[in-house]
Amino acid sequence: MGRTALITGASRGLGAALARFLAGQDFDLVLTARGAGNLDAFARGIRNGGHRVVAVAGDVADDGHRRRLVAAAETLGGLDLLVNNASELGPSPLVSLSELPLPAFERLLAVNLLAPLGLVQAALPLLSARQGLIVNVSSDAAVGGYPGWGGYGASKAALDLLSTTLASELKERGVGVVAVDPGDMRTAMHQLAFPGEDISNRPLPEVTMPFWAWLLGQARNDVTGRRYRAQDATWEIAQ
- The residues assigned a catalytic role are 152
Neighbour tally for 179: CB within 10 Å: 26
Paired sense of beta strands 176-181 and 3-8, if any: unpaired
- What contacts 138, CB < 8 A, 6 or more positions away? 156, 159, 160, 163, 179, 180, 181, 227
Q: Could you list the beta-strand ranges (E) of the chain.
A: 3-8, 27-32, 53-55, 81-84, 133-137, 176-181, 227-229
Report the b/e string of 133-148 with b at 16+ CB within 10 A.
bbbbbbbbbbeeeeeb
User: Shortest CA distance to 173 belongs to which of 135, 227, 126?
Assistant: 126
DSSP letters for 106-123: HHHHIIIIIHHHHHHHHH
CB of 168 closer than 8 Å to CB of 225: yes
Is residue 149 within 8 A of residue 141, CB to CB? The reply is yes
